[in-house]
Amino acid sequence: MEKKRLSLNTMKEQVMEKMYPVLCSTGVIFGGMVGNVCYADDPSLSSVMGNVQKIVYALFKSIGFVLTIWGIGQLVLAFKNEDSDSKSRAIMSIVAGIALYAFPTIAGALHLTAPSL
């Protein structure tokens, strides 16, 4: 069976087709979080935003942890098979996982957290 070669534009279209719902939902979530900043004086809304922030941070940390572990597994397999392309993808997964896991700490250092009451 022959593999079908795809052009770069076709691959970009396929990636965007699959990533579009993710990007849209992320935009809606963060747009809703930013849109509520003008009501930050309301204590009930601040507590809701604090809860949403905790959920998002927990989700980022969980996904980051799983992505890092998966990337380490992929890196071990790539070293076993001496595959340089798989090594680079595994390292990118590890870096992305670490960045996601560290996002709450980075956001706290940049004062992107919800104000505490």
The DSSP annotation for 25-78 comes to HHHHHHHHHHHGGGGTT-HHHHHHHHHHHHHHHHHHHHHHHHHHHHHHHHHHHH
Contact in structure between 64 and 98 (CB atoms under 8 Å): yes
CA distance 100 to 96: 6
Contact in structure between 116 and 94 (CB atoms under 8 Å): no
Is the pLDDT reported for residue 104 higher than 80? yes
pLDDT at 45: 62
Query: For 57-91, what is each residue's pLDDT tens digit?
Result: 899 999 999 999 999 999 999 999 888 888 888 99
Residue ranges of domains in the chain: 1-39, 43-111
CA distance 89 to 16: 19
Q: How far is CA 82 from CA 41, 52, 54, 77, 90, in A?
A: 57, 43, 41, 8, 13
Query: For 31-66, what is each residue's pLDDT tens digit?
Result: 666 655 555 566 666 677 778 888 888 999 999 999
